[in-house]
Amino acid sequence: MATVPGYSFFHNVERSFDKAAVFTTWENGLLQQIKQCNSVLQVRFPIKRENGEIVTLEAYRVQHSHHKTPCKGGIRFSNAVNQDEVMALAALMTYKCAIVNVPFGGAKGGIKINPREYTPYELEKITRRYTAELIKKNFIGPGTDVPAPDYGTGEREMAWILDTYVAMHPGEIDAAGCVTGKPVSQGGVRGRKEATGLGVFYGLSEICNMPDLMKKLGLPVGVKGKTVCVQGMGNVGYHSALFFKQAGAKIVGIAEYEGAIRSDKGLDIEEVFKHRKATGSILDFPGAENFEKTGDALEMECDILIPAALENVINSTNAARVRAKIIGEAANGPLTPEADDILNLKGVLIVPDMYLNAGGVTVSYFEWLKNLSHVRYGRIEKRFEENMNHRIVDQIEGLTGKTIGKDERDFILHGADEVDLVRSGLEETMIAATREIVEIWQSNPSIPDMRTAAYVCAINKVATSYSELGIFP
Ligand code: NAD
């Protein structure tokens, strides 16, 4: 995280919340309850490294809201982890889940380590010990709190969490639902890995397809031909870039922590990924220009800028130099409120993190449902659908005397697989959320920006849930 003195991520989330709350009619006591973090767990535990050294680690799990359970949110491995950051990320999870109608309260976890400084063996020990701490304090379980991957963690860590949980809960039939983002062989769902990046793509495509928004920005409608810069080539950044490229956009800039590259002809994201794997850096990619500072990518000329690394990277020191027309917040909290103000004044459209990167939690919800139902999506109906489609196509061909071409026929006959259903559910979720937020924004001219509209949407949903519980009649 870029360091800004006196910066509190949680305070910034509260500021955005307060800015939106004035556009709602809920009483103050209820708004205060929604804003607070309900439970904060801080633990410290020792681990013995492979060289014999003993280190004490600091870790957190925050449950922001229990208006719906289980709580849900990723686990982050980063040196910048602290209580304030985890609280902010947990709060964003509550609002995110509400917007996309995922019936969970928000949570987040983190361990203050740089995973690159530890061996896989040590990371496994750390992950398992952290899981044991969560179990001891009842901060994990399919009905209480369900972690997922976040910055610095992935499928591997989720498999270790599951294995530790199962070992300590023998015979618990729904144990696989204690964590999401698992490998498919361990109860994961197909389509989870790329879900956040794909959700970012679906959300931004819907924005690009709105003629009035594009007209205001002086951009043509649609994704095709748009120029895109991405910061961070991890899970979210890589997949966002990949789906934009597949849809005909041009990825002109990519940044990683070692620097940035640019090519106006467009970068092949898969080739850049291979190049980084082979050389250890994105720099010196054939045909691209090198930039020493990763932050340079944030200031490159492009239609869409996608910060997909960490929070606070666009702040009062660099916001004025951002030249993108749309910022799609794939990372959580990449803009400080000061940057928000500067960019809103410049007329940049900021598509906010709290719903744009909700693809991960949406598909995590699908994974959790799969774990509780103990059956793969599509398993029961796929063959039935294919048989029905066959009959329909045969009837149409018989009645019309025309033959449907092979590609079209195969497409129509195909019964939905798990990944088809997951992607379809994700697309529907992201399009519906985009339209709902834009509708709130456009229906009240006093709402200044899309972030505030997203908060209004979230506050209304969480408050309705509390009031229907009878807690705040
Ligand atoms: P990741 O660890 O897979 O990737 C992050 C990448 O950013 C890494 O490649 C890292 O080297 C790079 N990076 C770090 N600092 C950088 C800098 N200053 N400039 C350029 N690159 C830098 O993490 P991720 O899962 O892709 O998460 C990225 C962001 O997306 C985080 O803010 C996370 O909270 C958010 N997010 C992730 C998910 C998910 O499903 N993984 C879901 C919602 C939100």
Coil, strand or helix: which one is 19?
Answer: helix
Q: Whose CA is nearest to atom 38 of ligand 1?
A: 150
Pocket residue to mutate for ligand 1, from 13, 85, 89, 151, most atoms within 8 A of Cβ? 151
Nearest-angstrom CA–CA distance, 266 and 257: 20
Q: Which atom of ligand 1 is nearest to the CA of 153?
A: 2
Amino acid identity, position 443: S
User: What pLDDT is recorded for position 311?
Assistant: 87
Q: Which atom of ligand 1 is nearest to the CA of 2?
A: 18
DSSP character string of 183-218: -GGGT--TTSTTHHHHHHHHHHHHHHT-HHHHHHHT
Q: Which atom of ligand 1 is nearest to the CA of 76?
A: 34
Nearest-angstrom CA–CA distance, 299 and 100: 31
Q: How far is the CA of 151 from the centre of ligand 1 (A)?
A: 5
User: What pLDDT is recorded for position 2?
Assistant: 46
Pocket residue to mutate for ligand 1, from 1, 99, 123, 150, most atoms within 8 A of Cβ? 150
Tell me if 127 sits within 8 A of 53, measured CB to CB. Answer: no
Q: Which residues line ligand 1 (CB under 6 A)?
A: 74, 149-152, 196, 231-237, 255-257, 294, 308-310, 330-332, 357, 360
Tell me if 312 sits within 8 A of 9, measured CB to CB. Answer: yes
- Cα 173 to its chain centre, rounded Å, is 28
Q: Whose CA is nearest to atom 30 of ligand 1?
A: 331
Amino acid identity, position 121: Y
Q: How far is the CA of 238 from the centre of ligand 1 (A)?
A: 9
Q: Whose CA is nearest to atom 43 of ligand 1?
A: 357
All domains in the chain, ordered by first residue? 39-178 (3.40.50.10860), 195-356 (3.40.50.720)
Q: Whose CA is nearest to atom 16 of ligand 1?
A: 257
Q: How far is the CA of 352 from the centre of ligand 1 (A)?
A: 16
Q: How far is the CA of 463 from the centre of ligand 1 (A)?
A: 31
Q: Could you say which of 19, 108, 112, 245 is catalytic?
A: 108
DSSP character string of 359-371: HHHHHHHHHHHHH
Q: Which atom of ligand 1 is nearest to the CA of 330?
A: 30
What the block records as the tokens of 225 is 């031909």
Q: How far is the CA of 218 from the centre of ligand 1 (A)?
A: 30
How many Cβ atoms from other residues are within 10 Å of residue 187's Cβ? 22
Tens-binned pLDDT, residue by residue, of the chain (473 aa): 445 556 799 999 999 999 999 999 999 999 999 999 999 999 999 999 999 999 999 999 999 999 999 999 999 999 999 999 999 999 999 999 999 999 999 999 999 999 999 999 999 999 999 999 999 999 999 999 999 999 999 999 999 999 999 999 999 999 999 999 999 999 999 999 999 999 999 999 999 999 999 999 999 999 999 999 999 999 999 999 999 999 999 999 999 989 999 999 999 999 999 999 999 999 999 999 999 887 788 999 999 999 999 889 999 999 999 999 999 999 999 999 999 999 999 999 999 999 999 999 999 999 999 999 999 999 999 999 999 999 999 999 999 999 999 999 999 999 999 999 999 999 999 999 999 999 999 999 999 999 999 999 999 999 999 888 776 55
Q: What angle do CA 132, 364, 230 make, to 5 degrees?
A: 105
The total number of residues shown for the chain amounts to 473
User: What pLDDT is recorded for position 334?
Assistant: 96
Nearest to 232 by CA among 160, 317, 177, 306: 306
Pocket residue to mutate for ligand 1, from 75, 96, 261, 310, most atoms within 8 A of Cβ? 310
Nearest-angstrom CA–CA distance, 1 and 331: 11
Q: Which atom of ligand 1 is nearest to the CA of 181?
A: 40
274 is catalytic: no
Q: How far is the CA of 141 from the centre of ligand 1 (A)?
A: 26
In sequence order, the 6+-apart residues with CB closer than 8 A to the CB of 265 are 250, 287
User: What pLDDT is recorded for position 1?
Assistant: 45
Q: How far is the CA of 235 from the centre of ligand 1 (A)?
A: 7
How many Cβ atoms from other residues are within 10 Å of residue 158's Cβ? 27
Nearest-angstrom CA–CA distance, 89 and 102: 16
Q: Whose CA is nearest to atom 32 of ligand 1?
A: 331
Peptide bond into 183 cis (omega under 30): no
Q: Whose CA is nearest to atom 4 of ligand 1?
A: 234
Longest CA pairwise span in the chain (Å):
78
Q: How far is the CA of 437 from the centre of ligand 1 (A)?
A: 25
Tell me if 18 sits within 8 A of 463, measured CB to CB. Answer: no
Q: Which atom of ligand 1 is nearest to the CA of 236?
A: 26
pTM of structure? 0.94
User: What pLDDT is recorded for position 448?
Assistant: 96
Tell me if 393 sits within 8 A of 403, measured CB to CB. Answer: no
Q: Which atom of ligand 1 is nearest to the CA of 309?
A: 7
Q: How far is the CA of 381 from the centre of ligand 1 (A)?
A: 37
- What long-range pairs does 154-157 form, CB within 8 A, spacing at least 24? 154/181, 154/193, 154/235, 155/181, 155/182, 155/183, 155/188, 155/193, 156/120, 156/183, 157/75, 157/77, 157/123, 157/127
